Amino acid sequence: MDSQKTTHFGFRDVPLADKQKLVGQVFTSVARNYDLMNDLMSFGVHRLWKRHFVAVSGVRRGDRVLDLAGGTGDIAALLKPVVGEEGEVVVGDINAAMLGVGRDRLTDRGLVAGLRWAQMNAEMLPFPDNSFDAVTIAFGLRNVTDKDKALADMHRILKPGGRALVLEFSKVQSPLLSKLYDVHSFKILPRLGKLFAGDADSYQYLAESIRKHPDQDTLKGMMLNAGFGHVEVRNLTSGIVAIHRAYKL
């Protein structure tokens, strides 16, 4: 029974039924400072990763795209000019606070037409089969409780020939960089969280969640098992992050 099953929340084992609530508390806490902290954590490089992610996505004018874990709207803002007036970007996130921040930011920038915002669980997407040309998820899959279920549902809602694109922290390929990255993640990041956001614990969890996320080859296998016919993997910054692009045949 689910009440007896456990899963990881960072480095802690917690009841399966509790993880969604715990992750929700983290992102409700960090929502207002999320963009600032991303800049501090990555020295601004996350913006380049996201731009490259959209540039290699294969998304075209007129496409209908679902951006899962859309958070503060960074990916949606990059996708909207690509799909143009004929296309549509649906921003989905399980956390209402993150959705609110993103919607307000993009509205202030005048990005309203062709954007839809909806609260949803990535494991149970409220869309019919074969309804999107692409599904994107950036820095969100590692927080999903049942990743296999989410990947299978992403496959379900894609049209034949559609693409699922995952941008996520992954396994660093350089041993030296890996050691420096550990120091940054577990020594510096929580202190930055406490100093700038008043919340060290949430950023400790975020660092731990990165280490618990499947590495490049494991995630590729999970996407193949979810039904995708082909998966491409591209490392960025020596594998600190990786892009997985999968196709529904």
CA–CA separation, 216 and 98 (whole Å): 27
Residue 55 in contact with residue 79, Cβ under 8 Å?
no
| DSSP state letter for 124 | S
CA–CA separation, 159 and 249 (whole Å): 9
Same domain, yes or no: 183 and 243? no
Same domain, yes or no: 184 and 62? no
Q: How many domains would you assign to the chain? A: 2
Residue 72 in contact with residue 35, Cβ under 8 Å?
yes
Model pLDDT, residue 12: 76
Beta-carbon neighbour count of residue 61 at 10 Å? 11
Model pLDDT, residue 189: 82
Q: Which is nearest to 165 in space by CA: 194, 198, 127, 134?
A: 134
CA–CA separation, 208 and 67 (whole Å): 24
Instruction: Check the CA dihedral 213-217-219-225 and report its sign.
Output: negative
Residue 209 falls within a domain, yes or no? Answer: no
Residue 200 marked ligand-binding: no
Same domain, yes or no: 108 and 185? no
**Where is 100: in which H helix or E strand?**
helix 96-108
Contacts for 113 with CB less than 8 Å, ≥ 6 apart: 85
Residue 1 falls within a domain, yes or no? Answer: no
Same domain, yes or no: 72 and 189? no
Same domain, yes or no: 59 and 111? yes
Residue 235 marked ligand-binding: no
Model pLDDT, residue 43: 80
Residue 143 marked ligand-binding: no
Q: Which amino acid is at 115?
A: L
Residue 101 in contact with residue 31, Cβ under 8 Å?
yes
Model pLDDT, residue 63: 98
Domain that holds residue 154: 6-171+214-248
Q: Give strand pairing partners of 244.
A: 166, 233
Residue 122 marked ligand-binding: yes
Per-residue tokens: 2: 């689910």
For position 111, which CATH number holds?
A: 3.40.50.150
Contacts for 110 with CB less than 8 Å, ≥ 6 apart: none
Q: Which residues of the chain have pLDDT under 50?
A: 1-2
Model pLDDT, residue 164: 98
Q: What is the pTM of this model?
A: 0.89
Model pLDDT, residue 4: 65
